[in-house]
Amino acid sequence: MKTLKIGLFGCGTVGSGVYAILTEQRERIAGETGVDIEIARVCVRDPLKQRAVVLPPEIVTTDAAAIFDDPEIDVVIEVIGGERDALGIISRALVQGRNVVTANKDVIAKYLPQLRRLEELHGGHLVYGASVCGSVPILKIIDETLLTDRVGALRGVVNGSTNFILTRLADGWTWDEALSLAEANGFLEADPSADLSGADAARKLSILAFHAFGVHVLPEDIDTTGIEAITAEDLERATAARCTIKLVAEAILDDGEVRLSVAPRAVPLDSSLASVRDEVNIVEIDCDGIGTQRFTGKGAGSYPTANAVVSDLLDILARRRYRRWAAVIAANEPGGVECV
């Protein structure tokens, strides 16, 4: 049986989940795929930190070179979060021609065309489905849809943390109560402002738009409003109008232009966007041929994201690749349609 050796960067909330799944399900995955997946090295900042999993001391390192200089490591998984260090890890692995799995929406949203270009130049394989909507394999769904159809618009609740908070506020909780529970459940980013400001949703929308329309719009160029200013009075007015407030990310193709926005909106209680509670995400895709498709699943927390990372790893085994927007990748800049 073939052995696939993994170098794992990061063993926090998501990394611990990835380690747990790959070790606990190792025999089952091997039986299904014919490949024995071994976590050969785990690179962390603090080897003495308490974690949700117990790591064998012999595989733990604080030196990235222990992974990059090991020719037997086939796949690099990056789940450290942040931008600068994660970008360095992903880029270095791709330049080495390695396969890379990441859940890092900060890096992917900002540098996606450049990273796809490195993938193309050096022969590695970059997979990042876990960066958007947790357990919902929405990027694969969009790519497969585009084989036979055309996306006209997409919208959704793509940040599980803010959806959890808004759900609790609508149920009568205070802001402090909702935030405390979201933090206790591991739903908030290390910097909660990324969730509350809408920046996290904008990053995910940037990635979705790249796959749906072939444009690369930097998250900071997306019209974005967060939920920080939502008040009890706003929620009461929404309830009186038989609505609820959701942080909605939307991309619309209109006469050759793609319009992107993230903002809290009052949505009717009988709408699909209103139906998702707590950390659950939903994405609606409007297609020319098959109409509107809807996909839901948990989008925050250790297990949903870790499960998505493992699913991405299995896509590498299956040699699945994302659709190439050739004009965008080659030029390292937006192309295909105009973005506003």
| Higher pLDDT among residues 86 and 332, named by residue | 86
| Higher pLDDT among residues 321 and 66, named by residue | 66
Residue 81 and residue 41 share a domain: yes
Span 233-243, average pLDDT: 94
| Higher pLDDT among residues 239 and 302, named by residue | 239
Residue 193 and residue 280 share a domain: yes
pLDDT of residue 255: 84
pLDDT of residue 339: 34
pLDDT band at 81 (very low <50, low <70, confident <90, very high): confident
Mean pLDDT of the chain: 91
Domain count, the chain: 2
Lowest mean pLDDT among 189-198, 207-216, 266-275: 189-198
pLDDT of residue 13: 87
pLDDT in tens, 264-318: 999 999 999 999 999 999 999 999 999 999 999 887 777 889 999 999 999 999 9
| Higher pLDDT among residues 86 and 184, named by residue | 86
Q: CATH number of the domain that 32 lies in?
A: 3.40.50.720
pLDDT of residue 333: 44
Residue 276 and residue 317 share a domain: no
Q: Has residue 321 got a pLDDT over 60?
A: yes
Residue 219 and residue 159 share a domain: yes
Residue 293 and residue 162 share a domain: yes
Q: What percent of the chain has pLDDT over 90?
A: 81
Q: Has residue 136 got a pLDDT over 60?
A: yes
For residue 181, give the nearest of 200, 196, 168 by alpha carbon. Answer: 168
Span 129-138, average pLDDT: 90
pLDDT of residue 289: 93
Q: Which of 299, 314, 329 is the last residue of a domain?
A: 299
Measured over all CA atoms, what is the biggest interatomic distance in the chain, rounded to whole angstroms?
Answer: 63
Q: Has residue 9 got a pLDDT over 80?
A: yes
Residue 309 and residue 188 share a domain: no
pLDDT band at 175 (very low <50, low <70, confident <90, very high): very high
Q: Has residue 325 got a pLDDT over 70?
A: no
Q: Has residue 338 got a pLDDT over 50?
A: no
Residue 121 and residue 7 share a domain: yes
Residue 187 and residue 54 share a domain: no
Span 203-207, average pLDDT: 97
Q: 179 is in which domain, residue-wise?
A: 138-299
Residue 222 and residue 329 share a domain: no
Q: Has residue 334 got a pLDDT over 60?
A: no
Residue 248 and residue 165 share a domain: yes
Residue 129 and residue 42 share a domain: yes
Residue 288 and residue 315 share a domain: no
Q: Has residue 199 got a pLDDT over 60?
A: yes
pLDDT of residue 104: 95
Q: Which of 110, 204, 246, 298 is catalytic?
A: 204
pLDDT of residue 1: 87
Cα–chain center distance at 252: 20
Q: CATH number of the domain that 289 lies in?
A: 3.30.360.10
Would residue 204 show up in a list of annotated catalytic residues for this protein? yes
